[in-house]
Amino acid sequence: MSHTKCHGCSLCLLSCPMWRQERDVQYSPQGIFKALQHNAALSEITPALFSCLLCGACDLLCPEQIDITGTIKTLRRAAFSSGEHRALKKEIESQLKRPTTEAKAEANTIIIPGGALRSMPATLTKVQALLSREARAVLAKDDGDDIALALEAGVEISEHRRHSFLEPLQGAKRLYVSNGLLLQALRKWLPATALCALGYSLSQLSELTTKLTSDDLYLIEARAFHLDHQQTITHYDQLRHQQGCRTNLDLQRNAIPTAAGGLNTLHPTIDSHAQGRWILNGHRVARIIVECAEDGQAMAQLNEQPVLHIADLMEHANDV
Ligand code: SF4
Ligand code: SF4
């Protein structure tokens, strides 16, 4: 594994939510890799391994270009194999749906919104209308939330389950995907399909972004942002300059995640409230606009400013 290349420069620490929370180098890629280089047992690094949000910020910062998130996922799998966190593994396996045989969807464009956005039907209707400009976009029947969770945890996904998720998507030319980890996996599984981050795609629509003001804090979905960083950083810089809105980018130009959703919900290690306060730190804003429904739920719990999904900048789906 590439952790042997870590020379301990600490660059990965400053954007790392788990290091920021713990203020202990053990809770950082540097801490994990240095421990392994000095023959630590897997059980000694397990707390840090399962605190990582897989936000992807560290992957961009490491001068040795270590695949940090890939290594952490591999180490999580090894921890499960050695019996660590057996109950957590069983819980995730129980969430993996029984495979069902689905017909291919008769649509060129499919949206995979994820469970959180699906629980906001009025917002989801606007998302669908906004993404149906060039071709009618249909909603996937299967959100693959269980698959995203298994990917994050490092739990094996059966071939049957993977097939049942992918089969209905096979005919599509374009997929809009809310979950950044699912997006990353789908790019490997469906290489011929155009795969777009849902939040990023909405952030490119001028009828939405022109409604952003300098009183808004705009929350970029962290995983998708880090996945396509070279392309997305220019886009969000332009958005910030044009509209004057603030964003959740830190001083190293990485997106601070809220820690909402996924593994951190099932196995809480990172405090979403503290993450929200970190994001708000130094900003006085009237509204918070989010790309990701889970981020919206986390920020709403702070009870400070109104929180809107970016699609809700459109008052009615008919306005689209
Ligand atoms: S992926 Fe995010 S939480 Fe995990 S080690 Fe990297 S910066 Fe820290
Ligand atoms: S940035 Fe890379 S080389 Fe530097 S301490 Fe972190 S993991 Fe090690």
Domain ranges of the chain: 2-84, 109-198, 202-319
What pLDDT does 320 receive? 59
Q: Is the whole model's pTM more than 0.85, yes or no? A: yes
Mean pLDDT of the chain: 94
What pLDDT does 318 receive? 64
Q: Which ligand is nearest to the CA of 257?
A: 1
Q: Which ligand is nearest to the CA of 36?
A: 2
Q: How far is it, in rounded angstroms, from Cα 283 to Cα 226?
A: 22
Task: Write the pLDDT tens digit of every residue in 95-126.
Answer: 997 666 566 666 899 999 999 999 999 999 99
Rounded distance from Cα 274 to ligand 2 centre (Å):
25
Determine contact, residues 172/142, Cβ cutoff 8 Å: no
The fold adopted by the segment(s) 2-84 is: Fumarate Reductase Iron-sulfur Protein; Chain B, domain 2 (1.10.1060)
Ligand 1 near 16 CB (within 6 A): yes
Q: Which helix or strand (DSSP H or E) is residue 47 part of?
A: helix 42-49
Residue nearest to atom 2 of ligand 2 (CA): 62
Residue nearest to atom 7 of ligand 1 (CA): 16
Rounded distance from Cα 11 to ligand 2 centre (Å):
6
Q: Which of 53, 60, 223 to mutate to test ligand 1, by most ligand atoms within 8 A of the CB atom?
A: 53
Q: Kindly list the protein residues whose Cβ atom lies closer than 6 A to any atom of ligand 2.
A: 6-12, 29-30, 33, 61-62, 64, 66, 68
Residue nearest to atom 1 of ligand 2 (CA): 62
Alpha helix positions (H), 83-228: 86-95, 115-118, 121-130, 145-153, 159-166, 180-189, 198-202, 206-209, 222-227
> 202-319 in CATH: which number?
3.40.50
pLDDT more than 90, % of the chain: 89
What pLDDT does 304 receive? 80
Task: Write the pLDDT tens digit of every residue in 245-300.
Answer: 999 999 899 999 999 999 999 999 999 999 999 999 989 999 999 999 999 999 99
Determine contact, residues 306/215, Cβ cutoff 8 Å: no
Q: How far is it, in rounded angstroms, from Cα 302 to Cα 164?
A: 38
- Give long-range contacts, CB 8 A cutoff, 24+ apart: 127-130: 127/198, 127/202, 127/311, 128/317, 129/314, 129/317, 129/318, 129/320, 130/202, 130/205, 130/208, 130/311, 130/314, 130/320
CB atoms within 10 A of CB 164: 19
Q: Residue 165, class by beta-carbon neighbours within 10 Å (0-12 exposed, 13-18 middle, 19+ buried)? A: buried
Least confident of 22-31, 186-195, 254-263, 311-320: 311-320
What pLDDT does 301 receive? 94
Determine contact, residues 254/15, Cβ cutoff 8 Å: yes
214 pLDDT higher than 90: yes
Determine contact, residues 170/281, Cβ cutoff 8 Å: no
- Give long-range contacts, CB 8 A cutoff, 24+ apart: 87-90: 88/50, 88/153, 88/266, 88/267, 89/153, 89/155
Task: Write the pLDDT tens digit of every residue in 1-54.
Answer: 678 999 999 999 999 999 999 999 999 999 999 999 999 999 999 999 999 999
152 pLDDT higher than 90: yes
Q: Which ligand is nearest to the CA of 69?
A: 1
One-letter amino acid for residue 103 of the chain: A
More reliable by pLDDT, 134 or 48: 48
- Banded pLDDT at 134 (limits 50, 70, 90): confident
